Amino acid sequence: MKKEVFNPDDWNTAPSEKVPQALSPSVAASSNLSAILALVDAVEASGIDITPTYSEWLSIAFALVSELGEDGRAIFDRLSRFNPHYEPAETDRLYSHCLHDGSREITIASLFHIANLHGVRWKQLRSSSQLQFEDGEDVRMSKSVKTDVLPTSVTPSSIEEVSKPVKIDTFSQTVREQLPDILKRIVADSVSDVDADLLILGSLTVFSACLPNVYGVYDRREVFSNLFLYVTARASAGKGRLSLCRHLAAPLHRELRDQYSKSMEKYKHDQLQYVLNKKKGEATEPQEPPFLTLFIPANSTATVVYQTLSQNNGVGLLFETEGDTLANAFNSDLGNYSDGFRKAFHHETISYLRKKDREYVEIAKPKFSAILSGTPQQVFNLIPSAENGLFSRFIFYVMPTEVVWHDMFDEQETTADELFKEIGKDFYQFHKMLASQYIRFTLTADQRRQFNDFFTQTQADYAAMYGDDIIASVRRLGLILFRFAMILTVLRQMDDGAFPLPFGNEEGHRADAVLTCADADFATALAMVKVLLQHSATVFQSLPRHDFYKPRGHRSTNDKRQAFFVALPDTFDRAAYLQAAASLSISEKTAERYISELCKSGLLAHPAIDNYQKNPAGVSRP
């Protein structure tokens, strides 16, 4: 059958009126120019800032230099103007620096990738080499249709990455085969790897609120399994599926509510008898029963939250699918319990004073978990700065908006809600067995070694790339990994039916049951944290730090060090790194300090005197 080759000229639109007039011949002939200009027009039409972080701004400059050289300067200026700190002179200076040094690693694909990341959508033409149709087939393109396209020089793998919504790392495809059975049942209902990640994280966080008798020793302190999770995504990305995880703890919540209802009925009866017999002097006033619940509403006052935790032995789960609900509570006069959040993460004592009878109350070891979801703006409303202590205590998961339509009428025997309710009933029966004893969780000696080796290197790498402000998040992800492993190992006991566990008798510990982490569960926890570190870094870069509101010319040490690292060639000597420093207005002494720090972090190797190399095993560039 004869093939008809699609001709882009049939669809070519008029070029942007803002195309530079004096393009060099090589640039004018570039097959990517029309796509770049279409993207620029889309940015200007939408008013979207695609340069919110310094690393993105720098990458865009290098991308334009690699494709257009000097002719990309005006385009870089146009793309930079939507940043609130835009300064023409500094924008021009940065482009000159990138033009002088260049980058073999950053291509024009980075520009399209970053624009797509920030929600810019544009219409352009595909390469004729990619659109061939056979005569008579229904797939042949109509001449009234245009399609989203990308630069023709980009490799096929890059085209797939850039043309679709941004592909972020997931962990479920790596760990699903070694999960405990209850999590395998949960993941079996997922519709994608991202959805599987979401359900695993949501389930583990719900379970973390239901294991108050399980603890471990971390940094010489008793810690329990409690987690804080924040899933952030744009509208309609699918984060609503997180609400299914609420069913997993619903039976336990209902049990507590039923106990409270029965206690209140008895209390009301006893109170009536007390009033009737009070005059006879034969009655003792009954005590109002504690308010038993597992779920705690986010839109509560601080006193109500603390009082509820106190009456439930410090145990509680905040489950809120709209992050603004909690943010609004924190912004109210009586609802700011963010300090309680921060303390609860480490089981630190929370104290409050009851106004009614001036009673001083202490919650000695709060075991509080939280699940939140919301848009990126809602994250900012709750945590306005990366320096806010709440940021480092949350597990962040950034969901992309996948342009995939799922079958809304998939005929299954049970609905997703029914499936999760059934799993919740099974977990409830397991929970009743757990409640009969205290369990001390521990890692093996080899797992501890792996743990320490991983975080020693990771802390150095992330500090070098993102600055000291991210260290708190890296360190707390260490505790989160320990808690992941704890929950996974406990859930695996459902598979084995091993309860009650034998009592332990290790020196220096109570005679509680001892539960040693399985290697599969440690590997799962480690694989999850490796991905979640990237998600945390993504949110970290989107939040302002102390220097955020300064003009772009006043970069923080962290930003300057990132720019300096990017500007360095793959192999260089002292003269070369001083030249790179001079182009960024970095002093010789500061450059020497940066080189020393980068070598210590492992991002640079120093194989010989006056010889430096970028370490390919180090953290990838921002």
Establish if 434 belongs to a structural domain. no
Q: Which of 37-46, 66-75, 476-485, 589-598 has the highest mean pLDDT?
A: 476-485
Query: Beta strand pairing status for 221-224 and 214-218?
Result: antiparallel
Please report which confidence band the pLDDT of residue 25 belongs to, taking 50, 70 and 90 as the band edges: low
Establish if 26 belongs to a structural domain. yes
Establish if 82 belongs to a structural domain. yes
Higher pLDDT, 53 or 492: 492
In this prediction the pTM is 0.64
pLDDT at 333 over 50: yes
> What does the H/E/C string look like for 91-151?
HHHHHHHHHHHCCCCCCHHHHHHHHHHCCCCCCCCCCHHHCEEECCCCCCCCCCCCCCCCC
Please report which confidence band the pLDDT of residue 525 belongs to, taking 50, 70 and 90 as the band edges: very high
Please report which confidence band the pLDDT of residue 418 belongs to, taking 50, 70 and 90 as the band edges: very high
Please report which confidence band the pLDDT of residue 289 belongs to, taking 50, 70 and 90 as the band edges: very high
Last residue of a domain, one of 109, 144, 163: 163
pLDDT at 389 over 50: yes
User: Domain limits at 136?
Assistant: 3-163
Establish if 134 belongs to a structural domain. yes
What gap in Å lies between CA 183 and CA 185, rounded to an integer? 5
Establish if 408 belongs to a structural domain. no
Establish if 578 belongs to a structural domain. yes
What gap in Å lies between CA 434 and CA 416, rounded to an integer? 27
Question: CATH number of the domain that 564 lies in?
Answer: 1.10.10.10
Last residue of a domain, one of 131, 163, 195: 163
Q: In this predicted structure, which of 49-63, 418-432, 447-461, 519-533 has the lowest mean pLDDT?
A: 49-63
Question: In the predicted model, what is the mean pLDDT of residues 590-613?
Answer: 81
pLDDT at 18: 46
pLDDT at 547: 41
Contact 231, 242 (CB under 8 A): yes
- According to DSSP, residue 314 is labeled T
pLDDT at 161 over 50: no
14 to 244, 262, 329, 527: CA distances (angstroms): 50, 75, 52, 49
Question: Into how many domains does the chain fold?
Answer: 2
What gap in Å lies between CA 200 and CA 491, rounded to an integer? 13
Please report which confidence band the pLDDT of residue 550 belongs to, taking 50, 70 and 90 as the band edges: very low
Which backbone phi and psi does 484 adopt, to 5 degrees? -55, -50
What gap in Å lies between CA 539 and CA 396, rounded to an integer? 7
Task: State what percent of residues in the chain have pLDDT above 70.
Answer: 76
pLDDT at 198 over 90: yes
pLDDT at 402: 63
What gap in Å lies between CA 64 and CA 67, rounded to an integer? 5
What gap in Å lies between CA 19 and CA 479, rounded to an integer? 53
Higher pLDDT, 465 or 420: 420
Question: In the predicted model, what is the mean pLDDT of residues 286-305?
Answer: 90
The pLDDT tens digits of the residues spanning 335-376 come to 778 888 889 889 998 888 776 667 788 888 999 999 999 887
**Closest C-alpha among 3, 1, 38, 5 to residue 19:** 38
What gap in Å lies between CA 37 and CA 302, rounded to an integer? 53
Residue 333 class from Cβ within 10 Å (0-12 exposed, 13-18 middle, 19+ buried)?
exposed
Query: Beta strand pairing status for 214-218 and 395-398?
Result: unpaired
What gap in Å lies between CA 613 and CA 594, rounded to an integer? 14
Question: What DSSP letter does each residue of 179-230 carry, written as one string?
Answer: S-HHHHHHHTT-SSHHHHHHHHHHHHHHHHTT-TTEEEEETTEEEE---EEE
Q: What average pLDDT does the chain have? A: 78
The dihedral sign for the CA sequence 303, 308, 311, 315: negative
Last residue of a domain, one of 163, 179, 207: 163
616 to 102, 526, 529, 566: CA distances (angstroms): 19, 22, 21, 13
Using CA atoms of 332, 309, 325, 474 in order, give the dihedral in degrees to the nearest 10.
100
The pLDDT tens digits of the residues spanning 494-518 come to 887 666 555 554 555 556 889 999 9
Long-range contact set of residues 494-501: C-beta below 8 Å, sequence gap at least 24:
494/180, 494/181, 494/182, 494/426, 494/427, 494/430, 495/180, 495/181, 499/430, 499/433, 499/434, 499/436, 500/433, 500/436, 500/437, 501/437, 501/439
Contact 151, 108 (CB under 8 A): yes
pLDDT at 100: 72
pLDDT at 126 over 90: no
Establish if 561 belongs to a structural domain. yes
Q: In this predicted structure, which of 94-103, 108-117, 226-235, 321-330 has the lowest mean pLDDT?
A: 94-103
Establish if 272 belongs to a structural domain. no
What gap in Å lies between CA 115 and CA 40, rounded to an integer? 10
Rounded to the nearest angstrom, the gap between the alpha carbon of residue 294 and the centroid of all alpha carbons in its chain is 25
Question: In the predicted model, what is the mean pLDDT of residues 177-201?
Answer: 93
